Amino acid sequence: MPPDWSNVRADFPILHQNVGRHPLVYLDNGATSQKPRQVIQSLVNYYERDNSNVHRGLHALSMRATDAYEGARGRLAKFINAADPAEIIFTRGTTESINVIARSWAHAHLKPGDVVLTTEIEHHSNLVPWQQAAQASGATLKYVPLLGADGEGGLDLAALDTLLTPQVKLFAFTHMSNTLGTINPVAEFCRRAKAVGAVTVIDAAQSIGHVPLDVRAIDCDFLAFSGHKMCGPTGIGVLYGRRALLEKLAPDETGGGMVVSVTYEGATWKPAPERFEAGTPNVADAIALGVACDYLDSLGREKIAAHDTQLVNLAMEKLSALPGIRIIGPRVGQPRSGLVSFAFEGVHAHDVVTFADQDGVALRGGHHCNQPLMRKLGLTSTTRASFYLYNTPEEIDRLVASLQKIQKFFAG
Ligand code: PLP
């Protein structure tokens, strides 16, 4: 039985408001998701009852906070089927998680002549850190090309045969594109990377709260995601790392909490995950992220994925019927994640978003942190509608009605 999605909406207090004269239609979930009251309540409970510093305290509050923080780590491990909670490092989000690997792993392993492979569709957060790592080490950065004038062909899987050579030391790729909606075959990428001895890094920012995700089935080495895109708070995210790799890795940040012993001459490190969590961690948000996992699993991630697909298919059908709209990414009927980006003939994306806002419809317009991809597609910006578990078919009608109004206005 699918969940009753109208009950789900009741869990999100923020959705029940007007923007101007119109009820809010929130279609900017690719940027950040809204939070259910269960997650909000967890933050209130923590600060009202348990707030204390973790790991170093012997009093009741500190022990409660430590138990809840470490409990959240275990919950996150279960959420992605990691073998061990020690493989879960709490970070600020996807960007920080990728930077940790780019600084610590890349610093220790990359040398001139090596290749770092990524793709033409990456968010800046999974691109700029690799540019920096390649520049610092003398390695070369290469890209798996995107196929099709509108990016409709997905990544060129045949090109992987020539790109994935033994010189490739690391292959970093997104699970779902934040602009195109493309879904990459991540398990296949990992299998092919492993065959040449390359370490794999998956950017799961857009997929984590939307589809079931199993790091052992995918067989990746590292996986990065943000809490705020999966009904959790901002400022918290995860770097999953295979334990055998984490154990050999030096920390990228040092300070309190991550050391075993310090003398005036030097220091020794704790094992993972503490070795990678210097300073006071983000306790409240980590605990609330565990609650977000409970929330998503209570609905069922397969069901959330099916709901996303139903909405995005409907949106694709209706948007493709509008004149002057160029949809990028997979074509109608092809698999895509729960978002759709389009260019509006003769109207800048910022104008589309501003006008839609006057109808209470929240969209995103711009380059979506995908500047090289935009250039490749010959665009400066697109408008993006991104759906999640609380969105409804009626909200897609509101989106379409607003776009039709904008079209009329600009047609003069
Ligand atoms: N990767 C992808 C695919 C994203 O969509 C985003 C955010 O939009 C990020 C990385 C960066 O996430 P954060 O800003 O939460 O670190």
**Active-site residue 293, yes or no?**
no
What's the CA-to-centroid distance between 106 and ligand 1, angstroms?
20
Q: What mean pLDDT is reported for the chain?
A: 96
pLDDT > 90? residue 6: no
pLDDT score for 77? 98
Cβ(228)–Cβ(275) under 8 Å? no
Structural domains in the chain, CATH included, are 5-30+300-411 (3.90.1150.10), 41-297 (3.40.640.10)
CA distance 203 to 236: 15
Residues 117, 108: Cα–Cα separation, whole Å: 17
Residue 64 has a pLDDT of 96
Element holding 133 (H helix, E strand):
helix 128-137
* Angle, CA 27 vertex, CA 202 and CA 3 arms, to 5°: 80
- Ligand 1 center–CA 239 separation, angstroms: 13
pLDDT digits (tens, 9 = 90+) for 165-199: 999 999 999 999 999 999 999 999 999 999 999 99
Ligand 1 center to residue 238 CA distance, Å? 12
User: 38: pLDDT confidence band, cut at 50, 70 and 90?
Assistant: very high
CA nearest ligand 1 atom 12, residue: 94
Distance 33 CA to ligand 1 centre (A): 12
Residues 240-253: what's their mean pLDDT? 95
* pLDDT for residue 5: 85
Q: Tell me which of 101, 125, 231 to substitute to probe ligand 1's pocket, judged by most ligand atoms within 8 Å of the beta carbon.
A: 125
- Out of 123, 222, 231, 373, mutate this one to test ligand 1's pocket (max ligand atoms within 8 Å of CB): namely 123
Residue 44 confidence class, pLDDT cut points 50, 70, 90? very high
Pocket of ligand 1 (CB under 6 A): 93-95, 123, 125-126, 174, 178, 203, 205-206, 226
Distance of CA 39 to the CA centre of its chain: 19
To test the pocket of ligand 1, the residue of 29, 94, 339 to mutate (highest count of ligand atoms within 8 Å of its CB) is 94
The model's pLDDT over 292-325, given as tens digits with 9 standing for 90+, comes to: 999 999 999 999 999 999 999 999 999 999 999 9
Quick one: pLDDT at residue 394? 97
